[in-house]
């Protein structure tokens, strides 16, 4: 059975802190790993990772994939209250692109 596990389930930090969110997976026919941010509405796309060791960056967010150890991390530096959200990790399988989502990490950034 395909499985995506995120940790921690929730995290509370103060503005300016750096956080690391984890995502491990066990799936058949891995194609890519995606990170989403969900605030009060629908998830929005952050990153797609397909190759090990290549860091993706967007401002204060960065992510990296390890296909040998089957995990990815999402780093957020100098956190702001606007970073408070649920961060979802999803793995896309080959073929038609079915995705399996993790349960998410709820990040709360306090002023």
Partner 1 sequence: DARVTQTPRHKVTEMGQEVTMRCQPILGHNTVFWYRQTMMQGLELLAYFRNRAPLDDSGMPKDRFSAEMPDATLATLKIQPSEPRDSAVYFCASGLIPGQGRGEQYFGPGTRLTVT
Binding interface with partner 1 (CB under 8 A): 31-32, 34, 41-45, 48, 88, 90, 92, 94-104
Q: Provide the minimum distance between the beta carbon of 77 and partner 1 in the complex, in angstroms, as a whole number.
A: 23
The dihedral sign for the CA sequence 99, 100, 102, 104: positive
Phi/psi of residue 83, nearest 5 degrees: -80, -10
Q: Provide the minimum distance between the beta carbon of 29 and partner 1 in the complex, in angstroms, as a whole number.
A: 10
Q: Provide the minimum distance between the beta carbon of 97 and partner 1 in the complex, in angstroms, as a whole number.
A: 5
Residue 70: DSSP 8-state = T
Q: Which is nearer to partner 1, 14 or 98 (CB)?
A: 98
The dihedral sign for the CA sequence 55, 57, 60, 66: negative
Q: Which is nearer to partner 1, 28 or 111 (CB)?
A: 28
């Amino acid at each position: 059975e395909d499985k995506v596990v995120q940790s921690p389930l929730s995290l509370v930090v103060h503005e300016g802190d750096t956080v690391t969110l984890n995502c491990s997976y066990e799936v058949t026919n891995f194609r890519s790993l995606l990170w989403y941010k969900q605030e009060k509405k629908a998830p929005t796309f952050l990153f797609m990772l397909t190759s090990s060791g290549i860091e993706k960056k967007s401002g204060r967010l960065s992510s990296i994939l390890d296909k040998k150890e089957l995990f990815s991390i999402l780093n957020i530096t100098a956190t702001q209250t606007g970073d408070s959200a649920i961060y979802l990790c999803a793995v896309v399988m080959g073929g038609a692109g079915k995705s399996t989502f993790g349960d998410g990490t709820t990040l709360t950034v306090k002023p």
